[in-house]
Amino acid sequence: MINCRWFQQGGARADTSKATISWLKYNIRHYNPPGHLPTNSPELSLIENVWSIVAAAVYASPEAQTLTAVERRLWKSWRSISLTTVQNLIGSMSDRLKAVIRNKGDTSVLILSLCTVLKYG
């Protein structure tokens, strides 16, 4: 049994398959199945925030013309994410969760504060 304090499952098809959910229920002590978190809440997912940083660089203008150029942008963006940005994302999680509770599940109020964390992190 894995004893993690908090586990957030993604919404991808592989994450929500019956086999995956069954394994998680058996192996994660405090597992909450899909639907127990606010729907479509990327503000509460650290990796979604990291992917947003990467995507902004990959899809920046001018548009990459080759697969190699896309890969180069992806890796450059990934390596440019600072430890401070990651620490700020982790450090802001408690406040973001409290804001969701305070706003009865509305995550849209978190977008501005998250942008601040990423911009100044």
Per-residue pLDDT band for 116 (boundaries 50, 70, 90) equals very low
Comparing C-alpha atoms, which of 74, 87, 10 is closest to residue 44? Answer: 10
pLDDT (mean) for 8-15: 68
User: Which of 42, 16, 44 minimizes the C-alpha distance to 31?
Assistant: 16
- Asked if the model's pLDDT at residue 68 lies above 90, the reply is yes
Stretch 58-74: mean pLDDT: 88
Asked which of 3-7, 63-67, 80-84 is least confident by mean pLDDT, the reply is: 3-7
